[in-house]
Amino acid sequence: MTLLDSIGMALLRRLDPEQAHGLALTALRLGAAPAPGLVTSARLRTTLAGLPLANPLGLAAGFDKNATALSGLSRAGFGFIEVGAATPRPQPGNPRPRLFRLPEDGAVINRFGFNNDGMEAIARRLETRPRDAVLGLNLGANKDSPDRARDYATVLERCGPWLDFATVNVSSPNTEKLRELQGKAALAELLAGVTETRDRLQNRPRLFLKIAPDLDRAALEDVAEVALASGIDGIVATNTTLARDGLRSASATEAGGLSGAPLFERSTQVLARLARLTRGRLPLIGVGGISNADDAYAKIRAGASAVQLYTALAYRGLSLVTEIAEGLDRLLARDGFDNVAQAVGASTEDWT
């Protein structure tokens, strides 16, 4: 971490977490945040469902919910960026406070509840997106929607023409009964509607599915079966967890989804199981608890073609992206891999 990053992070940590998040987005939007630049190499360049990536490090959804800082984020060193989640109509989300730091655990709990400006405002921002970035949108459903499955297709239809990929988010724990859409029959019906919409779009963005880390083995088998049959392009593993094992911080009992370091093992186990179930037929994106190059490398070796970061950035700043990319390049070279794709799934057995 640079001195500037250290000073900036120290100041942000004095603020309420959601205020600090908003200030960081404002700095990115105004070009006032550090722009680490892109780290790439022959070893780091790869593809994700056919999308060319300069490196396999992505920004997870939730950081820029409303697509307000696309230009700044495109200069932050990520190989790809995911914004959102977006819902058809604007919604305020859950009452504040709804974001809690757990510094002793390197974690965060949030219960935002899909707060966002709605698809119309977000679509207008996507229209002027940076063309040199690989950009995706997390799709959500309105809390009071009479047809949540239809909401996902509605957002994709409106925003899809400006996207490289879209992610169906049925795994947020902060919208009541949303995770029920991960059930076999409900998921198959939902994905049928979304893939039909995707196939009507001229640019045909890639379509991913984001799952929870709290699925048991039988439920995960059902998800894999439905995903493989649906025509989607990949799976994001995983979202936040409802588990609270071993936490030490004062806010550990707050309701919401837990992200950060405590999620790493749980999410990586799900990722490895999914890799074995899908046997390379769908690319996987590893998310959950990545805070250094070793973590990113472990996700890749467990079966991830690419990874995403979020919570660790709240503690370490954007310079972490450069640090992880450079460290990952060194780890690949150490182990004799000419390209990161060669390391994908190299050690799924370590996570049985």
The tokens for 305 are: 């073609």
**CB-based contact 57:325 (threshold 8 Å):** yes
Report d(CA 177, CA 174) in Å as an integer. 9
Three-class DSSP labels, 156-221: HHHHHHHCCEEEEECCCCCCCCHHHHHCHHHHHHHHHHHHHHHHHCCCCCEEEEEECCCCCHHHHH
Closest CA to 200 of 243, 246, 161: 161
The tokens for 93 are: 């989300």
Catalytic (active site) residue 347:
no
End-to-end Cα distance, the chain: 34
**CB-based contact 182:171 (threshold 8 Å):** yes
Angle at 169 between CA 306 and CA 39, to 5 degrees: 25
**CB-based contact 8:2 (threshold 8 Å):** no
Report d(CA 269, CA 302) in Å as an integer. 8
The tokens for 12 are: 């942000």
Closest CA to 48 of 306, 342, 307: 306
Q: What is the dihedral of CA 103, 258, 276, 81, to 10 degrees?
A: -80
Catalytic residue among 41, 71, 171, 172: 172
DSSP state letter for 242 = S
The tokens for 90 are: 């604007």
Catalytic residues: 172
